[in-house]
Amino acid sequence: MRMRVDRWLSTLGVCSRSEAKAMIRSGAVMINSRIVRDPGEEAETETDLLRVQGLEIDGRIQRHVMLHKPAGVLTAARDRKQKTVMDLLPEVYGAIGCMPVGRLDRDTTGLLIFSCDGEMNHRLLSPGRHVEKVYEARVQGRLAASDCRAFEAGLVLSDFTALPARLEILDAGSDTSLGRVTVQEGKFHQVKRMFNAVGHDVLELKRIRFGPLTLPPDLPEGAWRELREEELLALRRAAGMV
Ligand code: URA
């Protein structure tokens, strides 16, 4: 993206816009090994090489991330009291507007995607697009084939009827069971409410897939990484953008 250099620095959270102007005029900023003295000069944010006071800075403002969300953090941009998912990423991601795509409850773990592309985020969450999400749920009681049929039929909840969902029983015990559920929508507390509707409290919930992306087995809880090119392309496809 083409952007004025003073704005680029402030967008990255390096400094304020006025500090950026002063720094540029002082000769502290280099683009592709050339000192820039005009704050209004434009640069290419994703490809130009940025140096401030001799230090190379990653200047990309279009970034996309996957996080293995741990329990106990809010999915929110910020919160005055509680830790949020943004606290698990370096500050620059918040500065450039890399935001969670949808939300997971505080006690839910698993795959959470972040992106700077507001249009893609919006499309992926749009109810009409039916982007699949897959969860594993440890629930109270013994899951039965009748539960799978109820999920498949579309459960009637207090304020909406859920679209047909697939429930696979991975383990059925008399105390607790493990189910894998695939939903096509993302309403508030949806999976917990669906299990509640068939008489099972959810004890643990983990998202293992969002659209085309699966939680990698080598990404531990609390860890994150940027999306690979092919993963971003798959997401854009799911969003109907390519
Ligand atoms: N459904 C829920 O009930 N909670 C989540 O965090 C995600 C889906």
User: pLDDT (tens digit, 9 = 90+) per residue, 131-165?
Assistant: 999 999 999 999 999 999 999 999 999 999 999 99
> Do 2-57 and 132-210 come out as alike in CATH topology?
no
Task: For residues 111 and 151, give the distance between their C-alpha atoms in angstroms, rounded to a whole number.
Answer: 22
Fold annotation for 64-127+220-238: Alpha-Beta Plaits (3.30.70)
Q: Which of 205, 206, 210, 215 to mutate to test the pocket of ligand 1 (most atoms within 8 A of CB)?
A: 205
Domain boundaries, the chain: 2-57, 64-127+220-238, 132-210
Q: How confident is the model at residue 172 (pLDDT cuts 50, 70, 90)?
A: very high
Pick from 16, 71, 45: which is nearest to 202 by CA?
71
**All residues at 6 or more sequence positions from 68 whose CB lies less than 8 Å from its CB, including other chains:** 109, 110, 111, 112, 215, 219, 220, 221, 222, 223, 224
pLDDT tens-digit series, residues 64-91: 999 999 999 999 999 999 999 999 999 9
Tokens of 28: 């502290």
Ligand 1 near 133 CB (within 6 A)? no
* Average pLDDT in the chain: 97
Q: Which residue is catalytic, options 58, 79, 87, 105?
A: 105
Contact 132, 164 (CB under 8 A): no
- Give residue 121 CA to ligand 1 midpoint distance, Å: 18
138, 192, 204, 206, best to mutate for ligand 1 pocket (most atoms within 8 Å of CB): 192
Catalytic residue status for 105:
yes
pLDDT band with cut points at 50, 70 and 90 for residue 183: very high
Q: Which residues pair with 205 in a beta bridge?
A: 137
- Asked whether the beta carbons of 113 and 216 are under 8 A apart, the reply is no
β-bridge partners, 4:
42
**Contact 109 CB / ligand 1 (< 6 Å):** no
The confidence band for 41, taking pLDDT boundaries of 50, 70 and 90, is very high
Q: What was the pLDDT predicted at 44? A: 98
132-210 is a CATH 3.30.70.1560 domain: yes
Structure-token match 């795959």, residue found: 111
> Ligand 1: does its nearest atom lie under 6 Å from the Cβ of 192?
yes
- Give all strands (DSSP E) within the chain, no chain letters: 2-4, 29-31, 34-35, 42-44, 50-52, 55-57, 64-69, 99-100, 109-115, 133-140, 166-172, 176-183, 202-210, 213-214, 224-226
186 Cα–ligand 1 center, Å? 8
CA of 196 to the centre of ligand 1 (A): 12
Torsion of CA 71, 74, 75, 76, to 10 degrees: -160
2-57 — its CATH code?
3.10.290.10
